[in-house]
Homo-oligomer: A and B are copies of this chain.
């Protein structure tokens, strides 16, 4: 028998990965959390049947989520990750020596358990002395923070279920208040080809809550979405396109580099159009 993990991207499009066996399967209060061993791409994490990461290609998404905002902020000492219970973004944040403290706020304890049991190399980041792990609702957590962070990374699932509050104007406004004066918010914003409305709304909402600089950038998230993946940055002072060479020199990365940093802000016309429309 061949087992295939079938990930339904839209009603009309599916991506399927051949699977050797299931390693973890637990229903949490929020979602069904599963880990499988794929045939070609290492282990994969699924939430409610939707593929989140594979060991083979998660570096593309996580490096670009993290190193772009951290690459242009001059002193990213305090970082908040909302979501990110797979610890991939956390691993990348910890590559920056300037970072002194990282809060990671994951709503679902079971995701953290799955990471600890099945992705030990990723989970190692949880135990780093700079890290404080919070099992909490990110939308609630952010309300109690003022002037607290240099960088906030929203590493959510696609809009829906527990992540829905993380796509609202209210949430982005709270994030803005939780940022220090030179702060930066970066949020994964789905596929401009298949779910263009998420990109457009995130862009508009970051502007609506008063970020003076809002930019979209695109990269690859191979098993998340066919075609480009979008992120939206809100910056209170610094130009996201101006990578600081001294901040990123010596980073050990497989995707990100300063040239890619500058290039990722070059948007295809169809992405530009959906922002201006």
Contacts and interface: CB of A to CB of B under 8 A. Distances in A.
A17 B226 CA distance: 12
Nearest to A6: B16
The 10 nearest A-B residue pairs measured at CB: A12-B40, A263-B266, A263-B263, A222-B227, A222-B226, A259-B266, A12-B39, A12-B18, A14-B16, A255-B268
Given A13-B17, A226-B226, A266 B262 contact: yes
Instruction: Give the size category of A's interface with B.
Output: 35 or more
A30 interface: no
19 contacts: A4-B14, A12-B18, A12-B40, A13-B40, A13-B41, A14-B15, A60-B268, A193-B222, A220-B228, A222-B226, A253-B269, A255-B270, A257-B268, A257-B269, A257-B272, A262-B263, A263-B265, A263-B266, A264-B266
Contact of A227 (B4, B17, B220, B272): B220
B13 A57 contact: no
Interface of A: 4, 6, 10-18, 38-41, 57, 60, 193, 220, 222-223, 226-228, 253-257, 259-260, 262-270, 272
Contacts of A269: 253-257
A15 B12 contact: no
Nearest to A226: B222
A49 to B, nearest CB: 15
B16 A16 contact: yes
A269 B263 CA distance: 13
B15 A11 contact: no
Contacts of A259: 266-267
A10 B264 CA distance: 28
A222 B223 CA distance: 11
B13 A13 contact: no
A167 B10 CA distance: 35
